[in-house]
Amino acid sequence: MKMKSTRFLDKKIYFQISRILIGFASLYSDLRIAWSIHPSILLYLIVLSTIALAFQIFAEHVGKYFPAYRQIALFSGLYLAFLTYHISTLIVTDLVGIFLSYDLSRLGLLVSIAITIYGRVHAHSIKTVSYTYKTNKLPAAHQYTIVQLSDLHIGEIIDHAYIHHVVCQTNALHPDLIVITGDVFNRTNIRKPKDIDRIFAELAQLQACDGVFAICGNHDPSIDSPLWQDFLKRSNIIDLNNQSFISKEINLIGRTRLVSNPTRIHLKGMMQSCDRSKPIVILDHDPSGIVEAQVQHADLILCGHTHKGQFFPCTFFTRYWYGKDYYHGKHIQNGTCSIVSAGTGYFEIPVRIGTDNEIVKIQLQGIQ
């Protein structure tokens, strides 16, 4: 099955059009709220919505954290979630209101606020998802446990308390191997959260017999950046970007960045050093790399990146862009098993609606 192309997502025109549409949607939302409550609040609403949207545009260019940065980031993300649901509910309530000859805009406002609050609360929970992969490359009845973390997005919102929860839940699974499939950090520009020392200390508590390995995602700083190197050193995590690791049970290969990156190394060359008598496990942040893994007959490939859309209605768009077999979950084709995580953390808009933060447990089982 050929995956749908997502190259158009990288075009500047797409983001420019999106910003314009979001700006108009924000203004319309402000007008409807003021109309429902009182016209005098319109100016305040416009100021707040402008701050929220401006943060999303310029945050990538901020070189360091400033007072109230986390609060503004949280407000900005929640505002975008609210805006999504407010516009959606207004469409529904206005249509229903036409038939009832009654203004339901206040109801739409309350529903939007309620959905946003639910999404924020749900974003604090983490679900453990388990998959089984059976292979004749392991001794009969032998089991090997891999725990996959992905898309932690450490930064302005994901803090040490959340990471502590992740670490405790991961260690409780008693894994043989722990892997982090990209987007450890939330932004490519290097900024250190004020509690980064506590975060690294928490990550250093991850326990696995064969170690903890990580690869970069598209939101991470460069491999040679001080922040990435500090993360590896202080968290006792092994860098697997464009590298391989062979244990007694498996071959582990790490890919770097997205498939669209022209400097990306071909998987065929990376697999030449593998012991073909053992399962070949690929770590690739981008699920677009699954097709190449299938062509090269890898046994298992673990990916992230999609967040399963993170919140409705982005769930539908993500499913369309990547295809139902590649946007989330387990899929087997051409003898290659692929697992795409919905992410252990969340990006930018701090809600989970219709999806879960998840820690993925993969049980490799030997068969005769």
Residues 185 and 36 in one domain: no
Residues 100 and 138 in one domain: no
Q: Could you tell me if residue 232 is inside a domain?
A: yes
Residues 361 and 226 in one domain: yes
Sheet holding 244-246, edge to edge: 244-246, 251-254, 280-283, 300-303, 336-340, 329-333
* pTM across the whole model: 0.90
Signed CA dihedral, 175, 299, 139, 141: sign only: positive
At residue 4, does pLDDT exceed 60?
no
Q: Which residues contact 22 (CB under 8 A, 6 or more apart)?
A: 53, 80, 83
36-40, 203-207, 243-247, 320-324: segment of lowest average pLDDT:
320-324
> Among all chains, which residue has been given the structure tokens 């005769």?
368
Q: Could you tell me if residue 174 is inside a domain?
A: yes
The answer to whether the beta carbons of residues 29 and 49 sit under 8 Å apart is yes
Residues 278 and 360 in one domain: yes
Give the mean model confidence (pLDDT) for residues 74-95.
Answer: 94
Q: Which of 122, 144, 160 is the last residue of a domain?
A: 122
- Alpha-carbon distance of 168 to 188, in angstroms, equals 27
Give pLDDT tens digits for 318-346: 898 888 888 999 999 989 999 999 999 99
In this structure, how many other beta carbons lie within 10 angstroms of the beta carbon of residue 303? 28
Q: Could you tell me if residue 334 is inside a domain?
A: yes
Beta strands in 204-326 (DSSP E): 212-215, 238-239, 244-246, 251-254, 280-283, 300-303
Residues 194 and 228 in one domain: yes
Q: Could you tell me if residue 360 is inside a domain?
A: yes
Q: Could you tell me if residue 151 is inside a domain?
A: yes
Residues 213 and 293 in one domain: yes
Residues 201 and 337 in one domain: yes
Residues 130 and 108 in one domain: no
The neighbouring-strand residues paired with 111 are: none
CA 325 to centroid of chain Cα atoms: 17
Which tokens sit at 10? 């990288």
pLDDT score, position 111: 95
Q: Which of 122, 154, 178 is the last residue of a domain?
A: 122
Q: Could you tell me if residue 315 is inside a domain?
A: yes
Residues 107 and 144 in one domain: no
The neighbouring-strand residues paired with 177 are: 146
The answer to whether the beta carbons of residues 3 and 288 sit under 8 Å apart is yes
State the greatest distance between any 2 C-alpha atoms of the chain, in Å, as a whole number. 74
Residues 316 and 251 in one domain: yes
CATH number for the domain that contains residue 156 = 3.60.21.10
pLDDT score, position 6: 47
pLDDT-derived band of residue 103, with 50, 70 and 90 as boundaries?
Answer: confident
- Alpha-carbon distance of 125 to 193, in angstroms, equals 22
Burial label, 268 (beta-carbon count in 10 A; 0-12, 13-18, 19+): exposed
Give the mean model confidence (pLDDT) for residues 148-152.
Answer: 97
Range of the domain at 92: 7-122
Q: Could you tell me if residue 353 is inside a domain?
A: yes
- Alpha-carbon distance of 353 to 231, in angstroms, equals 30
Q: Could you tell me if residue 2 is inside a domain?
A: no
How many separate domains does the chain show? 2
Residues 170 and 283 in one domain: yes
The neighbouring-strand residues paired with 124 are: none
Give pLDDT tens digits for 344-358: 999 889 999 999 999
Residues 116 and 255 in one domain: no
At residue 259, does pLDDT exceed 50?
yes
Give the mean model confidence (pLDDT) for residues 46-74.
Answer: 83
